[in-house]
Amino acid sequence: MIQEKTFNKWFNAFILVGMISVVLVVNIFKMQEPGANIAKMLVVTLGAVMGVFNCVMSANGLIWNFLFGIVNVSICAYTNWDAGNIGQTLLHLCYFLPMQFVGIWQWRKHGAGKNKEGKQETPKALRLTGKQWAIVGASIVAGIAAVYAILYYIDVARLGGADAVERDKILLDAIVMVLNITGQILLSLCYSDSWFIWVFVNIFSIALWVNRCGAAGSNGYAPVMVVKYCFFFINSLNGVRIWLKLAKKQPKVEK
């Protein structure tokens, strides 16, 4: 039977090498297209690579994931602004960026980082109770409804009428935005349940960027974002496995 450390080592290598390889192949083909903005695509690619490092390290409970997250979030804010995803732009710039620093602070409080012997320690993982899950679920539904309404009226004003609004894009944008906020809060507070949220974040993010690939005048780097979130999805499944094991090492906390 494959040992835990060996499996994680090869799984992480698969995610990192696979992500970088596929992104490079996509970019090589996209750069051949007429009018391709090579500089912009290289910046987006850097963000995708930093993002996958951030995702892999957070799944493994390594506190340094937040440093890669700072670069990834900053580039994602620009990418979504350029693609017209207003909700995602505000989410990354005004929420995710400062939350990287909050995450560093909270993880250190929960024991992450180097111990006295210089060994890297993972944070003490917690689990949500049934009552807490009910509150989280209700908050997600209410949040999606509120964000959808806000983004809908923003697009109506921006595009000059309801007929020009892409309702499916707005719905996906709202779902991803609210799930991202929820997942980041839970992850920063060291709840292993956050990885269930990240699974759905990645599923709906893939759908959002597939939608952008098929849209008129779509951005050349939209396929890169699809690839990015496909790898994130695979990694989030591994994150569920690792963090549930971390939580089992801790006494159950009732709140």
Convert the pLDDT of each residue in 121-179 to its tens digit: 788 888 999 999 999 999 999 999 999 998 888 888 877 777 778 888 889 989 998 99
With respect to residue 120, please indicate whether it lies within any of the assigned structural domains. Answer: no
Number of domains in the chain: 1
Is residue 183 in some structural domain? yes
Any residues with CB less than 8 A from the CB of 217 and at least 6 apart, and which?
Answer: none
Report, as an integer, the average pLDDT of 17-28: 80
Range of the domain at 81: 4-112+128-248
Q: What percentage of residues in the chain have a pLDDT greater than 70?
A: 89
Q: Is residue 187 part of a domain?
A: yes
pLDDT at residue 85 is higher than 80: no
Model confidence at 254, pLDDT cuts 50, 70, 90, reads very low
For residue 178, tell me if it sits in a domain: yes
**253 inside domain:** no
Instruction: Give the up-direction half-sphere exposure of residue 96: CA atoms within 13 A in the CB hemisphere.
Output: 28
In a domain, 122, yes or no: no
Q: Which range has the worst mean pLDDT, 11-25, 109-123, 195-209, 229-243?
A: 109-123
**pLDDT tens for each residue of 36-82:** 777 777 887 788 788 888 889 999 988 889 999 999 899 888 887 87
In a domain, 23, yes or no: yes
Q: What is the mean pLDDT of the segment spanning 197-213?
A: 90
pLDDT at res. 247 = 86
